[in-house]
Amino acid sequence: MRPKVLTLTAVLTFVFVTILLARAAMPDRGTASSTERIKRGEYLVTVAACHDCHSPKADAQMTVDAKRPLSGRPVSTAPPVQATQEIRASLDLTAWAGPWGNSYAANLTPDEETGLGARYNEATFINTIRTGKKPEGESLLPPMPWTVYRNMTDDDLKAIYAYLTTLKPVKNFVRTAPAALDATR
């Protein structure tokens, strides 16, 4: 009886240690470290054109204003005149007018009051991009290309969200409506 128990213990210990060693040697593929995730998000934001619409520009060559990237339409950018037969954009591409009315590229920095801060978390961000509905239920206006971005994987959208949360918060309220709220800014 005794030798059997000892053998069993030895075998189990061996199996256990082998599993531990194997796990230690395996690269952790499932959960990318948060630094890797943020770097990937920064890369995706760069190649998916988010800056084109969401960043104020420093010059006429459309250089992103490094002091306030992704902070949305600056107050200095006037909304284009609305038209029904064409889509119009401000020179910095942050303010738009079309048959839907005016739209302003949102402040994507983590500012609690005017950015994504208080209104979004990872889950609502993914849901907004997938469904075209903001957390409050409002539809995303054109030209926000959510029908393109909804094809991104969950991992890609999580990476983008992770990167956005690392941006410097910029206080910048981009919309003119609702009027009551606007009057206070």
Number of Cβ within 10 Å of residue 144's Cβ equals 19
Q: Tell me how far, at minimum, the Cβ of 129 lies from ligand HEC, in Å.
A: 7
Q: Tell me how far, at minimum, the Cβ of 117 lies from ligand HEC, in Å.
A: 10
Q: Tell me how far, at minimum, the Cβ of 66 lies from ligand HEC, in Å.
A: 18
The smaller minimum CB distance to ligand HEC, of residues 110 and 143, is found at 143
Helices (H), the chain: 2-25, 34-47, 50-54, 122-131, 146-149, 154-165, 179-183
Cα-Cα-Cα-Cα torsion 114, 119, 120, 126, nearest 10 degrees, comes to: -110
What span, in angstroms and rounded, lies between the C-alpha atoms of 123 and 136? Answer: 14
The smaller minimum CB distance to ligand HEC, of residues 6 and 181, is found at 181
The smaller minimum CB distance to ligand HEC, of residues 13 and 131, is found at 131
Q: Do 112 and 118 form a contact (C-beta atoms < 8 A)? A: yes
What span, in angstroms and rounded, lies between the C-alpha atoms of 127 and 152? Answer: 12
The smaller minimum CB distance to ligand HEC, of residues 134 and 171, is found at 134
Q: Tell me how far, at minimum, the Cβ of 59 lies from ligand HEC, in Å.
A: 19
Footprint on this chain of ligand HEC (rule: CB under 6 A): 45, 48-50, 52-54, 96, 103, 105-106, 108, 128, 134, 140-141, 143-145, 149, 160
